[in-house]
Structure 1
């Protein structure tokens, strides 16, 4: 029977959109159910800061009235204005193991974007690169961490069968406190020289100053990441939203800024997050009746972290401050209940960061692939 793809209209469709991955993956032990109320808020165009500079449409695919797939099509106007392009994206991709379903979903997203003047479609991303993005192509035997998707192996196979082309691979590196002895000795030497030689000192963010510190992070991010593939600068509205999200998982041990002692200029930052997926796994997508208890007791269940952002302003990349941030992470792992985790994603083309992970004794444990279609 043919596949019918239509835009999401009304609450019943939105519920079906959110519920689909629960039906597709609920029986797999490695899939982590998202919190349904959070997904509903995230998809709300009035509440998500992404829509301050973007537009999107949500689609459901049905066969004989049964939901068999979903997709979004979105245009990030900030990205296009910054790069001078007419690119669109697709995301929130879920589908049964059927090339006809995926072809119909991609066709709907393609048509929506092309009608608005876009010339290329890149994804999946939900909605942006700093949200969940990519299709898992390696690491199927590992649980996803905070803001990491999990997909069964057929996703990659079917996406390539229907003609999507690789755009970029994203790496996740595993680091354990026990790996400290594998770190190159030069990293410790560079870290020790940061303060006496370059006058740079680390400080930890605080919950009270978090919003102000995120402005500092935004300045560093917009400098350090600006040459990255698919970079979009953070706006005030983006940082406001990030502050609200970060408050829920804030841990002072893992949020840090490097500053010049003489002027107070922030030159580098790192934001690392406890893996709240270890709690979501127990909540099964719901706050009620007992999900909220797991969240209140979340520190009891979490022993992993994800290094989400670690960046240095270009003019300070010779100072060894990145090594200082790396060593501080190992020190915190030795001193707290969090004994390891993952760093990334890191672009496959980011040779300096990937070499840095190797120097720390890291190992690539997951790979995600971004795809594209040129119209």
Structure 2
């Protein structure tokens, strides 16, 4: 077998060919847009390159056909928040062959070592964690937009190499066609929503800069107490918003304020995977009419929540229920959306797990974020659980 670094058009084509070989008979897979994947590896489009680097390889079998691929990357700002500098590997695809997988993991490990890293997480994204993050370990059903999908045997490939679970990520599904949440929930939600000190606004492109600032403020406030906190990069956020502009529905993104100060955010998007499954990885001038027709035909019947963030001192105020109260009439106007995916909740954050379960979500999928320590004699430590006491410190 032969490893080839991705450097030009021909090798990029090989990189994108691998998943088509892996999932050719899997109806649950939706091919990500090649352009969106490529943008992750373009310094002019991905702000993570400001303090980092990335590299990709494809693995060819004895017959010259691709059998696997992987990317490795690091961001110095994020790498150094851990006890050992930690990079990442991702966009991993491979046939069911441990030798092939090991060659790919070795390439990522050795490159990261040469850059001063002492561990690697995988499979993860070269950017924020609400996209392309985690190894599917349970719930082999169609995934929400941006949520990774892989064959079951991938877990064994990672574990056999020596990766261990750093934390688990749970996704919950809410069937919006079932009887609604209890009246008590909506009474509390309305009561909080109408308190004069609180106000609520949905995202608007006309005020996008203000909402980006508000999102960053809420995100940083909500996660500042975490042991490995790293402020969000606004450029990363802007890049995602503009990349996904055609998918964003303004009334699916809600902000809450206390006397004008941003305190909570809920971000949801239509599940574009339901269209991507029919496009084979590309939007071209030839299939763009098909995309528009599929949107018009209401092909997207699911939504995916990317994030819910609440400043800790308001987490017991009912503010999340109030945001759902404002979202409720929006969903009434769009009855073709019959399912909501709430993803993802880390097992290190029991508050978010409890929130998703309290609104009626059913746990449907589990992803793993896995870590490999380069020093094989070093004790492995799992991600710490966030306690209520930690959250109150914020």
TM-score by length of 2: 0.87
Moved more, 284-293 or 100-109: 284-293
Shift of residue 227 of structure 1?
4.3
Query: What do the CA deviations read for 1:145-200 (whole angstroms, capped 9, x no partner)?
Result: 1101111111112222232211111010001223453x355533432232454611
Moved more, 274-283 or 288-297: 288-297
Whole-angstrom CA distance in 2 between matches of 1:322 and 1:220: 13
Query: What do the CA deviations read for 1:95-139 (whole angstroms, capped 9, x no partner)?
Result: 010000111111111111112221111110132322211111111
Closer, same or farther in 2 for the Cα pair 1:8/1:137, shift >3 Å?
A: same
Partner of 2:384: none
Alignment of 1:224-243 (within 5 A): 224-227=222-225, 231-243=229-241
Alignment of 1:165-180 (within 5 A): 165-179=164-178
The reply to whether residue 338 of structure 1 matches residue 337 of structure 2 is yes
Whole-angstrom CA distance in 1 between matches of 2:330 and 2:367: 28
- Structure 2, unpaired ranges of 5+: 375-394
CA contact (8 A) 1:37 1:286 kept: yes
Partner of 2:279: 283
Closer, same or farther in 2 for the Cα pair 1:249/1:106, shift >3 Å?
A: same
Query: What do the CA deviations read for 1:48-77 (whole angstroms, capped 9, x no partner)?
Result: 222123211112222223321111111112
Closer, same or farther in 2 for the Cα pair 1:53/1:190, shift >3 Å?
A: farther
CA contact (8 A) 1:282 1:294 kept: no
Alignment of 1:68-79 (within 5 A): 68-79=67-78
Partner of 2:131: 131
Partner of 2:149: 150
CA contact (8 A) 2:303 2:341 kept: yes
Alignment of 1:22-171 (within 5 A): 22-64=20-62, 65-82=64-81, 85-128=84-127, 129-140=129-140, 142-171=141-170
- Structure 1, unpaired ranges of 5+: none
Query: What do the CA deviations read for 1:177-235 (whole angstroms, capped 9, x no partner)?
Result: 23453x35553343223245461121111122223312211111111133457654222
Whole-angstrom CA distance in 1 between matches of 2:123 and 2:7: 22
SS of alignment partner, residue 202 of structure 1: strand
Whole-angstrom CA distance in 2 between matches of 1:53 and 1:186: 49
Shift of residue 346 of structure 1?
0.7
Whole-angstrom CA distance in 2 between matches of 1:303 and 1:194: 29
Whole-angstrom CA distance in 2 between matches of 1:371 and 1:338: 33
TM-score by length of 1: 0.91
CA contact (8 A) 1:204 1:255 kept: yes
Whole-angstrom CA distance in 2 between matches of 1:16 and 1:25: 15
Whole-angstrom CA distance in 2 between matches of 1:120 and 1:274: 35
Shift of residue 289 of structure 1?
5.4
Whole-angstrom CA distance in 2 between matches of 1:22 and 1:211: 38
CA contact (8 A) 1:88 1:122 kept: yes
Match for residue 15 of structure 1 among 13, 16, 19:
13
Query: What do the CA deviations read for 1:216-257 (whole angstroms, capped 9, x no partner)?
Result: 111111111334576542223212212202422111221111
Partner of 2:300: 302
Match for residue 214 of structure 1 among 209, 212, 215:
212
Whole-angstrom CA distance in 2 between matches of 1:151 and 1:195: 41
Whole-angstrom CA distance in 1 between matches of 2:131 and 2:225: 19
Whole-angstrom CA distance in 2 between matches of 1:41 and 1:351: 34
Moved more, 288-297 or 28-37: 288-297
Whole-angstrom CA distance in 2 between matches of 1:168 and 1:101: 26
Shift of residue 318 of structure 1?
2.8
Shift of residue 87 of structure 1?
0.8
Partner of 1:200: 198
CA contact (8 A) 1:57 1:74 kept: yes
Whole-angstrom CA distance in 2 between matches of 1:374 and 1:26: 33
CA contact (8 A) 1:269 1:311 kept: yes
Partner of 2:381: none
Partner of 2:264: 268
Whole-angstrom CA distance in 2 between matches of 1:112 and 1:347: 29
